[in-house]
């Protein structure tokens, strides 16, 4: 006959042995999700993008501010798709509106849909004796040099890129007649797509945007620059129906304590959330923000604050079709 102590010990061992398989089964049945782009030949994906940036610099009683707002529409066309899911894409900037303002000065503006330029480029109509033909010529003054390259690039494909089904950049193919700087040999961090993991993952899984960190140069002294390594990190937060929510952030791998260097990196570490449609294999939206303050970067008692936001939203195909029909009509 077993003693009570022995019985208790046996029951404890049996209880533990029963618990272990339950825990392992729970782990094995934890759902996983495959995040991958589903490219189709001649597919179009249009996005509206809103970027806002405000910087406030204060030293003593002196305060300077700058504000920039950019509203744009962009799209990519799927040129071809391989059996492994990789594809050649052709990104295009369709239109852009930009405003920049410094302190209380009048804002400078650019609108790619407007043949006339901002107030500083508009016609001086003081001379009432100027005939109509001369006035028309004056209305088409050259684009502000700061925006000239952008204007030429609007509506014109600048390059094609080959990407994997996970969005990693495999190759860049410059196009003839491109007006922007020619892309360098493809690196993972240069992909305009969010790079997804290559395998199915559970909620809470983290991954990097590329195999290698990317570098940003900062000036640490006159004529002296330092490379700072950064890396994009992602985490699958949740899945509801076909929509997966992903957290995105940029982490700094190189320790930086110098306020002057930190000020140059103040807008380099956005974080936010991305919504990915598992069924369509497309990013539906993303919102990334920065709100950073650096003290002492331009002398004792100084303060620099940067607040930025980037919102990108997939435009429904029927909206794009309606807009295109309206332009043709």
Place of tokens 């929509």: 243
CATH classification of the domain holding 187: 2.30.230
pLDDT value at position 34? Answer: 95
**Domain interval for residue 75:** 33-112+154-328
Q: Over the stretch 90-113, which tens digit does the pLDDT of each residue have?
A: 999 999 999 999 999 999 999 998
Residue 19: inside a domain: no
126 falls within a domain: no
- Does 138 map to a domain? no
Dump pLDDT digits (tens) for 108-118. 999 998 854 44
- 202 assigned to some structural domain: yes
Give the per-residue pLDDT at 150: 85
State the pLDDT at residue 179. 64
CA distance 299 to 191: 38
Instruction: List helix spans (H) across the chain.
Output: 4-28, 132-139, 145-153, 259-264, 317-328
pLDDT by residue, tens only, the chain of 329 residues: 555 444 444 334 344 344 444 454 545 678 999 999 999 999 999 999 999 999 999 999 999 999 999 999 999 999 999 999 999 999 999 999 999 999 999 999 999 988 544 434 433 434 444 455 554 444 555 556 667 788 888 999 989 999 999 999 999 988 876 665 544 433 444 578 999 999 999 999 999 876 678 888 998 888 889 999 999 999 999 999 999 999 999 999 999 999 999 999 999 999 999 999 999 999 999 999 999 999 999 999 999 999 999 999 999 999 999 988 888 86
Please check whether residue 273 is in contact with residue 245, taking contact to mean a CB–CB distance below 8 angstroms: yes
Has residue 136 been placed in a domain?
A: no
Q: What is the pLDDT of residue 174?
A: 87
Taking CA atoms, 45 is separated from 74, 197, 319, in Å, by: 8, 21, 12
Question: Looking at residue 126, what is its pLDDT?
Answer: 43
Position 145 in a domain: no
- Residue 159 maps to a domain: yes
Report the predicted TM-score, pTM, of the whole model to 2 decimal places: 0.78
Give the chain's domain count. 1
Structure tokens at 134: 């001369």
Q: Do residues 228 and 244 touch, judged by C-beta distance below 8 A? A: no
pLDDT value, residue 213: 82
pLDDT for 143 equals: 59
Strands, E assignment, the chain:
32-33, 44-59, 62-81, 87-102, 108-111, 159-163, 169-174, 201-202, 206-208, 214-221, 224-240, 243-252, 271-277, 282-295, 303-314
* Phi then psi dihedrals of residue 95, to 5 deg: -160, 160
């Amino acid at each position: 006959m077993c003693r009570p102590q022995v019985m208790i010990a046996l029951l404890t061992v049996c209880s533990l042995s029963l618990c272990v398989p339950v825990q392992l089964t729970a782990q094995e049945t934890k759902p996983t999700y495959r995040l991958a782009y589903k490219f189709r030949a001649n597919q179009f994906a249009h996005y509206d993008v809103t970027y806002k940036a405000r910087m406030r610099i204060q030293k003593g009683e002196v305060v300077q501010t700058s504000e920039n707002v950019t509203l744009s529409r962009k799209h990519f066309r799927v040129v071809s798709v391989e059996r492994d899911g990789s594809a050649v894409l052709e990104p295009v900037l369709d239109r852009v509106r930009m405003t920049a303002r410094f302190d209380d000065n009048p804002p400078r503006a650019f609108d790619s849909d407007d043949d006339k330029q901002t107030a500083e480029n508009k016609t001086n109509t003081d001379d009432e004796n100027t005939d109509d033909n001369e006035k028309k010529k004056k209305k088409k003054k050259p684009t502000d040099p700061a925006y000239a390259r952008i204007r030429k690039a609007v509506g014109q494909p600048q390059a094609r890129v080959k990407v994997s089904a996970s969005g990693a950049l495999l190759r860049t193919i410059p196009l003839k007649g491109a007006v922007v700087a020619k892309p360098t040999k493809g690196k993972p961090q240069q992909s305009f797509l969010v790079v997804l993991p290559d395998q199915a993952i559970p909620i809470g899984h983290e991954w990097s945007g590329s195999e290698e960190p990317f570098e940003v140069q900062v000036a640490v002294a006159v004529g002296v620059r330092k490379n700072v390594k950064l890396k994009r990190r992602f985490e699958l937060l949740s899945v509801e129906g076909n929509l997966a929510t992903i957290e995105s952030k940029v982490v700094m791998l190189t320790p930086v304590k110098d306020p002057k260097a930190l000020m140059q990196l103040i807008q380099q570490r956005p974080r936010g959330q991305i919504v990915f449609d598992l069924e369509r294999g497309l990013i539906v939206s993303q919102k990334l923000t920065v709100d950073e303050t650096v003290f002492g970067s331009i002398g004792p008692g100084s303060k620099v604050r940067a607040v930025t936001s980037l919102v990108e939203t997939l435009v429904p195909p029927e909206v794009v079709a309606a807009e295109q029909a309206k332009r043709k009509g």
